[in-house]
Amino acid sequence: MHLSGVAKDLGGRRIVDDLDLDVASGELVCLLGPSGCGKTTTLRMVAGFLSPDLGNVVIDGRDVTTLPPERRPTAMVFQNYALWPHMSVFDNVAFALKLRRLPRAEITRRVGEMLELVGLTHHLRSRPAYISGGEQQRVALARALVQEPAVLLLDEPLSNLDAKLRVRVREDIRDIQQRLRITTLVVTHDQDEALSIADRVAVMNGGRIEQVAPPDTLYRRPATRFVGGFVGAMNSLPGKIENEVALLADGTSIAVLTPCAPGGTEIAVRPEDVVLAAGGTAARVQRVVPRGHFTEVVLEVGETRLRAYLGPDDPRPAPDDTAAIQFRRALSYADGQLIG
């Protein structure tokens, strides 16, 4: 699937702007960004519920930009599932196939296989109101998959589930996607969700895509200041890198332990890359917050505030202690763009 130069105005505002995105066959791509950045609008243009003002949508080599939803090889799972409350689970899943007037036996077989795949065979006759949120989500997924779409579209598929269930269901979604090798575009504002299920993540901000990359790359080398701050926690410090030293705007210098690109006007350091090390720069410990599998420490160096995550085996400082710190790794940015 391929989007090129897609743009959309709504309510007199440009909501999606000059958007390019490829999703390879069998790939799962997450469109990740803050609320209101244009994710749902983008997904609706792929599904055909909205038509772009500019640009093209191509699926399996065919330009579908002007086709209505029912003539596109896509199926969408909506954020609120949109199940029909008066229909059984079976009928919800069978609906699109009945519309297509497929033979009854084939409908029964395909719906049966799909309910088996999502583990809902025992709820065949239940109405949506009598099954759990996680099960409703799986019905919505089965209803999309049974249509055998070339591209599966999911809009915030986990946002109505509680935290524990969310982790389980996202693993289920990934398993099913892998088993069927189905090309999938998932919209989410949740970075954990995106990083844990996607082959690649496209980070969107203000109607534009800022970076498309595999989760590891996105985390380790955020292409823009926005991506670094949105995906994971980041210390953003005015200053520049010179000779493997971070020179902060307030005059403080902190050693960087791995080679990094020099220059820039802003230094970005992940909290887990702020390390306590003898001979490092003196920092005052402001706050120590146990976070379970790590300890969060808020530090003050000169006029700069920093956040560090310490591992379970690291010495744990106390408030008002003086700690010596270094950076394991640092990135430099100029005008919000990564250098190097």
Ligand X SMILES: Nc1ncnc2c1ncn2[C@@H]1O[C@H](COP(=O)(O)OP(=O)(O)O)[C@@H](O)[C@H]1O
Q: Which is nearer to ligand X, 80 or 258 (CB)?
A: 80
What is Dmax (Cα atoms) for the chain?
76
Question: Torsion angle of alpha carbons 58, 62, 64, 69, nearest 10°?
Answer: -100
Decide if residue 202 touches ligand X (CB under 6 A): no
Decide if residue 10 touches ligand X (CB under 6 A): yes
Decide if residue 36 touches ligand X (CB under 6 A): yes
Q: Which is nearer to Mg ion, 189 or 225 (CB)?
A: 189
Position among 1, 6, 30, 39 found at the interface with ligand X (CB under 6 A): 39
Position among 35, 292, 293, 318 found at the interface with ligand X (CB under 6 A): 35
Residue whose C-beta lies closest to Mg ion: 40
Closest distance to Mg ion from the beta carbon of 216 (Å):
26
Position among 3, 15, 23, 40 found at the interface with Mg ion (CB under 5 A): 40
Decide if residue 157 touches ligand X (CB under 6 A): no
Size of the site for Mg ion (CB under 5 A): 1
Decide if residue 11 touches ligand X (CB under 6 A): yes
Position among 3, 19, 32, 38 found at the interface with ligand X (CB under 6 A): 38
**Residues present in the chain in total:** 340
Closest distance to ligand X from the beta carbon of 11 (Å):
3
Closest distance to ligand X from the beta carbon of 84 (Å):
23
Decide if residue 52 touches ligand X (CB under 6 A): no
Position among 3, 19, 30, 37 found at the interface with ligand X (CB under 6 A): 37
Position among 21, 29, 40, 158 found at the interface with ligand X (CB under 6 A): 40
**Rounded Cα distance, 312 and 309, in Å:** 10
Decide if residue 41 touches ligand X (CB under 6 A): yes
Decide if residue 191 touches ligand X (CB under 6 A): no
Site for ligand X in 12-31 (CB under 6 A): 15
Q: Which is nearer to ligand X, 17 or 314 (CB)?
A: 17
Point out which residues bind ligand X (CB under 6 A).
Answer: 10-11, 15, 33, 35-41
